């Protein structure tokens, strides 16, 4: 993250803000949007557009499955989860692949924005089960198709005042693992993932986007569903995730120089491993078991990071939201400082009005195409 100033005073202020940020991240996520002191001119994003899989799905899949059943909430994964691999067939009662709000909803709240599902008129185009590609996919729609739906709805424009989130790759990594486990070569899938991610960045940048937050692939070798398959498979899965991240780095580095500006990289692989190395430091007591398989844990998730074999608890998502927020450009750091001051009762102001959101993408053909979403 660039420094606030090269002057001594600037460096001192930057250090103070970093220290304050570390202390107030969790609290900032719970504060009312943009509660800052009068007169603070804190830069803000006008909107948040999200493209992703079940880690970011705030309700699109639930809406699709409700349309299939005709009874809202009928197609949900019950708990305790019965699947032997602890992988859900449908969203949970929360309408998400977790026991509550996911990280992108919490990030949006901390920025004074929203992450409502696109099928409900919002700006979150993520679908549980999505792969990054290919284009022309059926439900659950790939990230390439999510971006295409957004660009179509906006006439090819991607407002430069918005923040864009591109989160995906976990499902692609598990697909690559299946290929490797069957004796095949996963290289083609790894390359396709990386090129598709770069393609998405190119489309958004061509439309005018400035700040694009990009996740890499988390360490899928550490999730309960993979750990249950043994140490050998776990190591192989971790190695594949690392290979995909190397390919992603290369693909993004090959983009035109003018598109490199505004790319915000979130190293999900490193963030997950930092948690797994010292969970107690982050307030977690269990990072290896699925809470949704244990009635006692379901009643009191407490310090459990994973809700099922793949997805975090909402507490786990809170940690991810704070980690992502810390990666945003310096205006977000100032926002964190302002939020901390607001917690001391120094006042509040309201965020400027947002422009109209893009029309939602539609789940065309979902009645015929809906299938089991074993996904990130």
3-class DSSP state of 283: coil
Domain residue ranges in the chain:
39-349
Rounded Cα–Cα distance for residues 154 and 134 (Å): 21
- In percent, the amount of the chain with pLDDT more than 70 equals 76
Rounded Cα–Cα distance for residues 84 and 64 (Å): 25
- Of 3.40.50.1860, 3.40.50.300, 3.20.20.150, 3.40.50.1110, the CATH number of 39-349 is 3.40.50.1110
CA distances from 329 to 16, 45, 247, 295, 344 (A): 16, 11, 25, 41, 24
pLDDT digits (tens, 9 = 90+) for 90-105: 999 999 999 999 999 9
241, two tokens: 């995730």
Q: How many CB atoms lie under 10 A from the CB of residue 162?
A: 23
Rounded Cα–Cα distance for residues 62 and 75 (Å): 8
With 50 as the cut, is the pLDDT of residue 361 above it?
no
Q: Interior CA angle at 93 toward 108 and 356, to 5°? A: 30
With 60 as the cut, is the pLDDT of residue 54 above it?
yes
Indicate the helix (H) or strand (E) that contains 127. Answer: none
- Confidence band, pLDDT 50/70/90 cuts, at residue 3: very low
Give me the sign of the Cα torsion angle 279, 292, 27, 333: positive
pTM of the predicted model as reported, rounded to 2 decimal places: 0.80
pLDDT digits (tens, 9 = 90+) for 321-344: 999 999 998 655 555 554 444 444
Mean pLDDT of 7-23: 44
> Residue ranges of the alpha helices (H) in 71-186?
103-110, 143-153, 170-181
pLDDT at 255: 98
With 70 as the cut, is the pLDDT of residue 260 above it?
yes
- Confidence band, pLDDT 50/70/90 cuts, at residue 44: confident
| Residue entry with tokens 């940020």 | 21
pLDDT at 375: 59
pLDDT at 329: 84
With 50 as the cut, is the pLDDT of residue 258 above it?
yes
pLDDT at 331: 56
- Bridge partners for 266 per DSSP: 215
- In percent, the amount of the chain with pLDDT more than 90 equals 75
Rounded Cα–Cα distance for residues 376 and 374 (Å): 7
- Bridge partners for 214 per DSSP: 166, 265
pLDDT at 326: 95
153, two tokens: 């709805």
Q: Which residue has the higher pLDDT, 21 or 363?
A: 21
What is the overall mean pLDDT for the chain?
84
Nearest Cα residue to 37 out of 344, 367, 299: 344
With 60 as the cut, is the pLDDT of residue 358 above it?
no
Q: Which residue has the higher pLDDT, 376 or 152?
A: 152
288, two tokens: 């290896």
- Bridge partners for 310 per DSSP: none
76, two tokens: 């949900």
* Centroid of chain to Cα 16: 28
- Confidence band, pLDDT 50/70/90 cuts, at residue 116: very high
Rounded Cα–Cα distance for residues 189 and 265 (Å): 22
pLDDT digits (tens, 9 = 90+) for 188-242: 999 999 999 999 999 999 999 999 999 999 999 999 999 999 999 999 999 999 9
Nearest Cα residue to 140 out of 226, 257, 41, 61: 61
Ranges of beta strands (E only) in 37-184 are 48-52, 163-167
3-class DSSP state of 213: strand
CA distances from 206 to 155, 199, 249, 311, 357 (A): 12, 10, 20, 33, 19
pLDDT at 283: 96
Indicate the helix (H) or strand (E) that contains 324. Answer: helix 314-325
Name the least confident of 18-32, 169-183, 241-255.
18-32
Mean pLDDT of 285-307: 97
CA atoms lying within 13 Å on the CB side of residue 106: 24
CA distances from 110 to 105, 140, 289, 318, 320 (A): 9, 28, 29, 11, 13
| Residue entry with tokens 């970093």 | 18
Q: How many CB atoms lie under 10 A from the CB of residue 124?
A: 29
């Amino acid at each position: 993250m660039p420094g606030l100033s090269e002057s001594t005073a600037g460096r001192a202020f930057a250090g103070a803000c970093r220290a304050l940020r570390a202390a107030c991240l969790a609290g900032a996520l719970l504060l009312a949007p943009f509660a800052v002191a009068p007169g603070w001119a804190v830069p803000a994003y006008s909107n948040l557009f999200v493209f992703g899989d079940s880690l970011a799905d705030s309700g699109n899949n639930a809406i699709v499955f409700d349309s299939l059943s005709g009874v809202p909430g009928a197609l949900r994964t019950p708990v305790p989860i019965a699947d032997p691999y602890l992988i859900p067939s449908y969203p949970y009662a929360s309408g998400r692949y977790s026991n509550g709000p996911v990280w992108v909803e919490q990030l949006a709240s901390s920025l004074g924005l929203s992450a409502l599902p696109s099928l409900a008129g919002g700006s979150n185009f993520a679908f549980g089960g999505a792969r990054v590609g290919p284009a022309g996919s059926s439900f659950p729609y790939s990230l390439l198709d999510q971006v295409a739906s957004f660009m179509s709805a906006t006439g090819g424009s991607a407002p430069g005042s918005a923040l864009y989130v591109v989160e995906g790759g976990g499902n692609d990594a598990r697909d690559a693992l299946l290929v490797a486990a069957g004796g095949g070569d996963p290289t083609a899938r790894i390359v396709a993932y990386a090129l598709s991610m770069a393609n998405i960045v190119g489309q958004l940048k061509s439309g005018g986007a400035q700040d694009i937050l990009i996740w890499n692939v988390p360490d899928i070798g550490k999730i309960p569903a993979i750990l249950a398959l043994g140490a050998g498979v776990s190591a192989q899965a971790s190695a594949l995730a690392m290979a995909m991240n190397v390919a992603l780095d290369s693909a993004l580095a090959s983009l035109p120089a003018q598109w490199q500006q505004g790319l915000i990289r979130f190293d999900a692989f490193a963030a997950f491993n930092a948690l797994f190395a010292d969970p107690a430091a982050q307030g977690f007591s269990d990072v290896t078991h699925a809470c949704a398989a244990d009635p006692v844990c379901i009643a009191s998730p407490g310090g459990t990071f994973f809700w099922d074999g793949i997805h975090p608890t909402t507490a786990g998502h809170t940690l991810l939201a704070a980690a992502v927020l810390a990666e945003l450009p310096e205006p977000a750091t100032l926002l964190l400082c302002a939020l901390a001051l607001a917690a001391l009762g120094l006042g509040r102001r309201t965020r400027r009005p947002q422009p109209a959101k893009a029309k939602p993408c539609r789940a065309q053909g979902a009645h015929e195409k809906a299938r089991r979403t074993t996904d990130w």
